[in-house]
Amino acid sequence: MFDPTPSNGLDEVEYVELYNASPYDFELSMLRLADSKTDHHLPVGVFSSGTYLILASGPIASDTSVYWFSEFPSLNNQGETLYIMSMDGDTIDFVAYTLESYIFSKKKNGGYSIEKLELLDTCITWRWHASLADEGGTPGRRNSVNDLREDALPPHLIKQEKLTSNLLELTYDEFINTTAVKVIQQANNRELIVSNKYGKLWILVDSLVFFALWIPS
């Protein structure tokens, strides 16, 4: 969150959210937060594996540990590059953000954080998006935009099985979302009862004879 004003519900505090995707715990003070002008050692503390951590310029409500310190760098509202570095000066990760990172122009006036579309990706600028959370951000919990990541490949049918005379089970290699189910019902222009869970679809029709089904990508 580089421009927290005006607030949509969060504290008006600049913050950076970190996630430890490694299987190891880290001593936080062995890391550094840097921009083009400043380079600061992080406070003493443990950054546990599989957890979020918030670095902030002041106190902020969060679902996880928060470390705020006076040396927290002032984040440029127009954009800059932030680095998480080791004590040896190696770059662990970075974000090069700009106003274009919001994607939605109406959110560029402040009060919204930018979030990674995919948590485990490295910080590439075009994989960021303005938070969809009503309060403007999700400090310390799952990003609100995680479900927006583009899925370029359509679901692949692994198996189909006729369970009864009018019940068909289709198994795909990925989750079939609710929107796709509604499109299936509309596109086939017939009475279908479609339910889904994980990568399976169960389709109840009046007859399976000469039945053809269209699945959207």
Query: Which CATH number fits the domain that encloses residue 60?
Result: 2.60.40
Q: What is the pLDDT of residue 95?
A: 87
The verdict on 113 and 170 lying in the same domain is: no
The verdict on 24 and 109 lying in the same domain is: yes
Q: What is the pLDDT of residue 209?
A: 41
The verdict on 43 and 142 lying in the same domain is: yes
Any domain includes 164: yes
The verdict on 178 and 95 lying in the same domain is: no
Residues spanned by the domain of 65:
15-148
The verdict on 93 and 200 lying in the same domain is: no
The verdict on 88 and 193 lying in the same domain is: no
Any domain includes 7: no
The verdict on 21 and 128 lying in the same domain is: yes
Q: Is the dihedral of CA 106, 112, 114, 118 positive or negative?
A: negative
The verdict on 45 and 75 lying in the same domain is: yes
The verdict on 64 and 98 lying in the same domain is: yes
What is the largest distance, in Å, between two alpha-carbon atoms of the chain?
71
Question: What does the angle CA 36 – CA 40 – CA 42 come to, to the nearest 5 degrees?
Answer: 135
The verdict on 82 and 165 lying in the same domain is: no
Question: What does the angle CA 11 – CA 12 – CA 16 come to, to the nearest 5 degrees?
Answer: 85
Q: Are 173 and 199 in contact, with CB atoms under 8 Å apart?
A: yes
Count of domains for the chain: 2
Tokens encoding 129: 């998006």
pTM of the model: 0.65
| Dist CA 100 CA 195 (whole Å) | 39
Task: Using the structure block, give the residue that is written with the tokens 């006036």.
Answer: 109
| Dist CA 76 CA 88 (whole Å) | 26
The verdict on 129 and 177 lying in the same domain is: no
Any domain includes 45: yes
**What does the DSSP 8-state code read for residue 186?**
H
| Dist CA 56 CA 164 (whole Å) | 59
Residue by residue, pLDDT tens for the chain (217 residues) are 999 999 999 999 999 998 888 888 988 888 899 988 888 888 888 888 888 889 888 888 877 788 887 778 888 999 999 999 988 888 888 888 888 888 877 888 899 999 987 777 766 555 788 898 889 999 988 888 876 665 555 666 677 777 777 677 777 656 665 555 555 555 555 555 555 555 566 666 554 443 444 444 4
CA-CA-CA-CA dihedral for 182, 146, 25, 112, to nearest 10: -140
Give SS3 for 146. helix
Cα 121 to Cα 54, 94, 117, 128, distances in angstroms: 18, 11, 8, 10
Give SS3 for 180. helix
Any domain includes 3: no
Any domain includes 133: yes
